[in-house]
Amino acid sequence: MQSTPTHQTELSANIVLLCRFLRRKGFNITATEEADALRSIAVLPIHSEYYFQEALKAVLSKSEFQRSHFDAYYLDFKKQLENASDSKVKEVPEEKRQPEKKSKAAQFEALKDWLNLSPSEEEKEIAASSPIDVLTKKDFLDLSEDEMRLMMRVLQKLARKMAHQKSRLRKKSKRQQHVDLKRTIRTNMRKGGEIQQLVFSEKKNRKLKLVLLCDVSRSMDLYSRFFIHLMYAFQNAYDKIETLVFSTALHRVSTLLDNNEFDTAFRMISDRVPHWSGGTTIGSCLQDFTQNHGHGMLDKKTVVLILSDGWDTGEPEIMKDAMKTIHKKSKRVIWLNPLAGNPEFAPESIGMQTALPYIDILASAHNMESLKSVLQQLRSKRKLPNR
């Protein structure tokens, strides 16, 4: 049974309630889209309900089905609000609302910290209705289709944010935002010392090369689709990135991820890769990578991200030699193992034991929170061994 929305006096609060109401009708509305809806009331003639309703429809509807049903849902929601008002549904006393306010504030802070965003005051109001902070701790295997789509939006935003991080080094800029004092003085010293020209600068982009190697064998079948989502997000965010998948053989799929929508790319990869969901020979696949791809992909600016549970049926020596080469030629080697999310996990398989000495970070990848924690370390330097 659907709950009846309580009466709210603030227009922005009613928009939040409308978004919640539409979610129950199957609309996939995120915190960002709620914020866009809230912003629309600042620029549109809200005294005209027609334009107001059309603006909300444009922001919150994502398909022809949703657009065709939006007006009926809007009227249904409006009637429920009127019924709530007529029934004199009173707002909760201020003193009883304090714990809820604290809860909302805590949820917002968690969401803001998680995404590293700087939302506006209006976004703070709607953050509590966002399920992101809960979903980030939910195992990928337990996500519904709607939740998976929401997580993909978060992942794409995270990938873009990480791809455009800035370094401490600066370069000259035509944008007149930050005056570079040193360059300004140096330039004007050549012109007699008087300040005749201001020089502006901006931070340089921190260039990073990524190589993603994803296990699509049978033992990884439950996680493979999400990891392909991960590779798709990064492939479309980074300029210098190569993506390969493997089971009993290695296949480069960078072009497929670059030039297609995700569902199309996933279908093409699963169709073109022999032995999808088959056995695993990780060592021979990594050996193929070092011998036939490593020369053009590996250098000291490259971070290698391996997504696998480590169940190798090949020869340990082959795995050892391949991992040793990858570690030696790369900036960092990160191994994401979805099984590591289990508190009782230990890297006891022969494949993991063989690879472990050549891995800089071995971490879980069973939910978005664990994944983000590792991805934040992409740009950190490799720790030198103790001597």
The 3-state secondary structure of the chain reads CCCCCCCCCCHHHHHHHHHHHHHHCCCCCCHHHHHHHHHHHHHCCCCCHHHHHHHHHHHHCCCHHHHHHHHHHHHHHHHHHHHHHHCCCCCCCHHHHHHHHHHHHHHHHHHHHHHCCCCCHHHHHHHHHCCHHHHCCCCHHHCCHHHHHHHHHHHHHHHHHHHCCEEEEEEECCCCCCECHHHHHHHHHCCCCCCCCCCEEEEEECCCEEEEEEECCHHHHHHHHHHHHHHHHHHCCCCCEEEEEECCCEEECHHHHHHCCHHHHHHHHHHHCCCCCCCCCHHHHHHHHHHHCHHHHCCCCEEEEEECCCCCCCCHHHHHHHHHHHHHHCCEEEEEEHHHHCCCCCCCCHHHHHHHHHCCEEEECCCHHHHHHHHCCCCCCCCCCCC
Q: Lowest-confidence range among 52-61, 96-105, 275-284, 305-314?
A: 96-105
The pLDDT, as a whole number, for residue 163 is: 64
The mean predicted confidence, pLDDT, of the chain is 75
Which residues is 304 bridged to in the sheet? 211, 333
The pLDDT, as a whole number, for residue 357 is: 95
Which tops the pLDDT comparison, 305 or 191? 305
Measured distance CA(33)–CA(123) in Å, rounded: 10
Chain segment 284-298, per-residue pLDDT in tens = 999 999 999 988 889
The pLDDT, as a whole number, for residue 168 is: 63
Say what the pTM is.
0.58
Band (98; pLDDT cuts 50, 70, 90):
very low
The pLDDT of 153-175, averaged and rounded, is: 70
Q: Lowest-confidence range among 126-130, 237-241, 348-352?
A: 126-130
The pLDDT, as a whole number, for residue 322 is: 96
Chain segment 225-237, per-residue pLDDT in tens = 778 888 888 887 7
The pLDDT, as a whole number, for residue 108 is: 42
Chain segment 182-214, per-residue pLDDT in tens = 777 777 777 776 777 777 877 766 667 889 999
Which tops the pLDDT comparison, 385 or 313? 313
Measured distance CA(319)–CA(359) in Å, rounded: 12
Say which amino acid occupies 314: G
The pLDDT, as a whole number, for residue 42 is: 64
Q: What percent of the chain has pLDDT over 90?
A: 16
Which tops the pLDDT comparison, 84 or 298? 298
Which tops the pLDDT comparison, 113 or 100? 113
The pLDDT, as a whole number, for residue 95 is: 44
The pLDDT, as a whole number, for residue 112 is: 46
- The b-or-e profile of 100-111 (16+ CB within 10 A means b, else e) is eeeebeebbeeb
